[in-house]
Structures are given as structure tokens and as C-alpha cells.
Amino acid sequence: MSNDAAQSPGRRGPRLDRLVRAGTAAATGWAAAAAALGAGELVAAVTGPDTAPVIAVGSAAIDLTPTALKEYAVRTFGTDDKAVLLGGIHLTTALLAALAGVLAARRPLLGAGVFAAFGLLGTWAALARPAADTADAAPALVAGLAGALTAHVLARILRATDRTAATRPTAPGEAPEQDGRSKDQTAGPVVTSRRAVLAATGGTIAVGALAGVGGRSLSDHRDGTGAARTAVHIPPAAAPLPPLPTTVHPNVPGLSPFVTSTADFYRVDTALTLPRIDPRRWALHIRGMVDRPLLITFDELLREPLEELDHTLSCVSNEVGGPYVGTTRWLGASLPALLLRAGVRPGADQLVGRSQDGMTIGTPLESVLDGRRALLAVAMNGEALPVAHGFPCRSVIPGFYGYTSATKWLVDLNVTTFAAYDPYWVRRGWDRTGTVRTASRIEVPAPFARVPAGDVTIAGTAWATHRGVAAVEVRIDGGSWQEALLAADAGADLWRQWSCTWTGATPGTHRIEARATDATGSVQTANRAAPYPAGATGWHSTVVTVT
């Protein structure tokens, strides 16, 4: 090597040069990832949005996540848990893609291999979905191929540039012409080809992003669920319920409304992309231990006499005092009536609902058939179910948490036994019955509120779904219990709101506690238990400052 070559392009050159080169290599990795994800989205426009590689991997991650971590995620991120998961997957992808790019710059085949391997991982994830078919493998396979190819090509361009940079100054014949006195001239062609690499990289990223966005909007466009939902005409109930009396709600500012608006209704599920179901193609199987298996289309379901049910749905993952609970007027066909028509055979003790995306939810059959009103619901609050809440049909069975009763996007009902089948959450260690535990929540004053001394209004909501709430008591700073005033009782399947006056509140920090008694006479336990495995227990408490 000539002296010029060793020195060029300057003393701190080699290190800076290596850094720039690594950065460029990392960028080629990102370009390959963009190409891969873009290609995956394009193919997913045909095979369905939930088969796109990131979504498929995310869904597999949700199913594989240990229960403790899932609980932590729900507790920490609430309804944002999915956004956090997707963010994490994208960040990990970006890091790994950068590493793969750097690797590819040394060994193009190895770098390409990393993308191929991730393509296979995505393929496995897509096929591992409970409702997967073979075509679902396509997006990740194509993504892996696109990523590997792009990584390989870009790495070779990068290496070609390196060779130009390394060889040009040492070429004996060229050195005087190219080099002359100026090092800038040496750098000239090198910089130009670096630019070529960057242009190729940037171009690929742009094309990948375009393909991704295009693929997404294509699948949104292809999906007619929104229009189909708007077109659905839900008939009225055969015997409509009277409106709820206004006396169910104590008129206390800050207290949640008695009926939860659909927009405010909590959403909990494992679906990274919402299942899109065309009601014209939807049908529900009722099968298993029955004399006459049924297959019911959506039109047939709507021709059943529809019933209304005022009901408070709650989630087993709700912490004491938490937000995952809501009250709505459901409308749907009678679930017990359809089960009787199918003819349940003796010995069956579990009813397992399965959703279009493969979720399974099991309910004690005896409870479904004990005379309580239970629905195959098609509407809430007077409108067709929103897609997020199970359109076109979900089950609603009072008395149980959502995870053992309220299958959204329901397509199959299997009459079976507890011995024969463990549904999704039971396989993860959750209680197989999922009876709603008695709960009371202090809503007014808000936690850490500052309130003026004197008489302070306390109000909240209590529920013991299907048993009903008989009493709520409140105490201050561990003193004696004071009975709260219960608002009107609208039925055992509904929560009950309450209020009371704390007279003579004195300045300082105080703790308010509340406990409910259900209609069986059982007082809510003080023992604090976490949601896992059968629902949180313990009294809700709020700390306020009286000024």
C-alpha cells in the first residue's frame, strides 16, 4: 500500500470512515426491513390484515406471553397494551435490522439469512394462529424473501463501493492522475458511490413505506365491514324493556353515568387487528353434545324474537376500583332458547364459545340454562354491535366475567364438558368458572382530591352481577361503617350506584373506604387479592385532603 492510501482521507479518517460505513450498513438493514414489511403488507391486503408479519408475530407473542407479564401489561398500559406491544416489535425489528445490515456488509449471505430466518419466524407465527389457513403463510414468506434479497443486493453495492475506495488510490497507474495533490479528488469517486448506496437505501425505504401504506389502505378498502354494519337493520325487541328510571343514578357531579356510552365502554381482548366479519357470510354453529346441531345465519338470528337485557359487564383483570366495567342495554336472541332447540344432551356441563379469530371462552352450562336471561347479542345501546365489541354477534351471560361468558365475534358454540375441554384462559391458569366478585368503587371525591371541610358527598358504584347489591357501607380513617344511600335497584344483573354524606370533615388527609354486601347477604371481603386467577378482591379506598 502506498503511503497516500494509508493516510487518505486524513489522520482521523479510518475511524470516522468505519463509523460512516457501519451507519450506512445499518441503513441498508433498515431498507431491507422496509422492503420486507412493505411486501408483507401488500400480500396481506389479499390474505387479511391479521396475517401481516408484524401483526402475526404480535398475536403469537400475546398467546405465548406468560400470564404474569400479561397482567403486568394490562395493569401498566391498560387499553394501550397493544400499542405498546406493536411499538416494541417495531423497535426490536429496527435494532435487529440494523445489526443484520452491519452483518451483511461483511457477509452478504449471512445478512440475507437473518431476513430469511425472520420470514420463517413470521410464517410460523401466522400459521400458529388458531384460525389460520395455508394462504396466511404468504405475507411473511414474501416479506422474508424481499428482505433477504434487498439485504443481499444492498450489501453487494456497499462492498463494491468499499473496493473502489480501497483499490483506487493503490492502482499504480492511476495514482498520479486521480490523486494529484488533492485528497478531495481521491475521495471524489468514493463519495459518489457512497451516495449511490445511500440513494439505493433511501429509495428502498421509500418504496417499502409506500408498499406498506398502500397495502394497509388496500385492505381497508377491500374490507366492507363498516358498510355492511351500517346496512344491517336490527329489528326491535319482541317485548321492549321500559326505559331505566332516572332514580338509578344519584345526581352527584363526577359520578359515572348509570348507562355507559358505547364510546366509553371498556374494551379488552387479544385481537391486534379487529376481526372483520361480513354478516351476510356469518353463520353460527351450535354443536357438540346436542341432539340437533344448528347452523344459524345472521338473517335467521334476526328473525328470532329478540330480547333486551340491561347488564353490567366486567373484566376479571380489573383491579379493585378499576375501569374495566360497563353497563349497557344488550339486544339479541335468547341463548337458552336456541340451546333447548338444539337439545342439550345429559352429561354436558360446559358451553364453549369460539370467535372467528380463535378465542375460546367456556361457561358453566347449568348457569346458562337456569332461567337467567342470556343472549346472542347483536346490538348494544340501540345500535348494531361495534366491530370492537364483537360485530356481528357475541354472547352475553350475566354473572360471569367477560373471559368466561362474553365471546365477541362468535362463530361457534360447542356443548361439551369441563373434563373434555379447557378454553384459552383456563389453559393459562385462570379460574374456569369466572363468577363476578362483589366490588364497590368510590368515584366521588376523586383520588387525592382536595375538598373543603364540612359536609362532603361521597358517591360510587357497586356490582355483584346476577346476585345484586343489597348494601354499601363507607368508613373514614378506619372508623365505624356508615350505611350509604342506594339509588334505585334496576335488577340483579346491573350495578348499583350509591351516595352518602360525610358530615363534619376536618382539615387534613383522610382515607375513605367502601364495601358492598351482595343480595345473598355476603359482605365483600377485606382480603386483597390480585386479579389472577379469579378476580381481584378487597375494599376500594381513596385518599383525600380536606382543606
Q: Count Cβ atoms within 10 A of the Cβ of residue 279 and give its class: 0-12 exposed, 13-18 middle, 19 or more buried.
A: buried
288, amino acid identity: G
Residue 96 Cα to chain centre, angstroms: 24
Task: Rule CB under 6 A: choose which of 359, 387, 415, 442 binds ligand MTE.
Answer: 359
- Main-chain dihedrals φ then ψ at residue 514, nearest 5 degrees: -135, 145
Task: Rule CB under 6 A: choose which of 266, 430, 498, 502 binds ligand MTE.
Answer: 266
Q: Where are the alpha helices (DSSP H) in 265-321?
A: 298-303
Q: How far apart are CA 69 and CA 301, in angstroms?
A: 39
| Per-residue contact flags (x/-) with Mo ion for residues 287 to 316, judged by CB under 5 A | ----------------------------x-
311 binding ligand MTE? (CB under 6 A)? no
Task: Rule CB under 6 A: choose which of 216, 267, 428, 475 binds ligand MTE.
Answer: 267
Closest CB to ligand MTE among residues 142, 464: 464
Ranges within 392-451 binding ligand MTE (CB under 6 A): 402-403, 406-409
179: Cβ contacts below 8 Å, ≥ 6 apart:
4, 169, 185, 186
Tell me the window of 396-404, 449-457, 467-475, 501-509 that interacts with Mo ion (CB under 5 A).
396-404
389 binding ligand MTE? (CB under 6 A)? yes
Closest CB to ligand MTE among residues 118, 401: 401
Residue 389 DSSP symbol: G
* Of 491, 89, 484, residue with least CA distance to 329: 491
Q: How far apart are CA 45 and CA 27, in angstroms?
A: 27
Give me the residue whose beta carbon is nearest to ligand MTE. 402
Q: How far apart are CA 536 and CA 439, in angstroms?
A: 9
Q: Where are the alpha helices (DSSP H) in 434-511?
A: none
Task: Rule CB under 6 A: choose which of 269, 307, 310, 443 binds ligand MTE.
Answer: 269
Q: How far apart are CA 319 and CA 108, in angstroms?
A: 51
Closest CB to Mo ion among residues 74, 200: 74
456 binding Mo ion? (CB under 5 A)? no
Distance in Å, CB of 404 to ligand MTE, minimum: 9
Task: Rule CB under 5 A: choose which of 330, 403, 424, 498 binds Mo ion.
Answer: 403
Tell me the window of 123-131, 159-167, 268-276, 342-350 that interacts with ligand MTE (CB under 6 A).
268-276
Helix, strand and coil content of the chain, in percent to the nearest 5, comes to 45, 20, 35
Contact partner, 408, from ligand MTE, Mo ion, none, Cβ < 5-8 Å per class: ligand MTE
Q: Are 277 and 410 a contacting pair, CB within 8 Å? A: no
Report residue 39 as a C-alpha cell. Answer: 411486501
272 binding ligand MTE? (CB under 6 A)? no
Closest CB to ligand MTE among residues 74, 471: 74
355 binding ligand MTE? (CB under 6 A)? yes
Closest CB to ligand MTE among residues 376, 459: 376
- Main-chain dihedrals φ then ψ at residue 439, nearest 5 degrees: -140, 150
Contact partner, 194, from ligand MTE, Mo ion, none, Cβ < 5-8 Å per class: none
Residue 543 in 3-state DSSP? strand
Report residue 279 as a C-alpha cell. Answer: 354478516
Residue 306 in 3-state DSSP? strand
Residues that bind Mo ion (CB under 5 A): 268, 315, 402-403
Residues that bind ligand MTE (CB under 6 A): 265-271, 313, 315, 355, 359, 361, 389, 402-403, 406-409
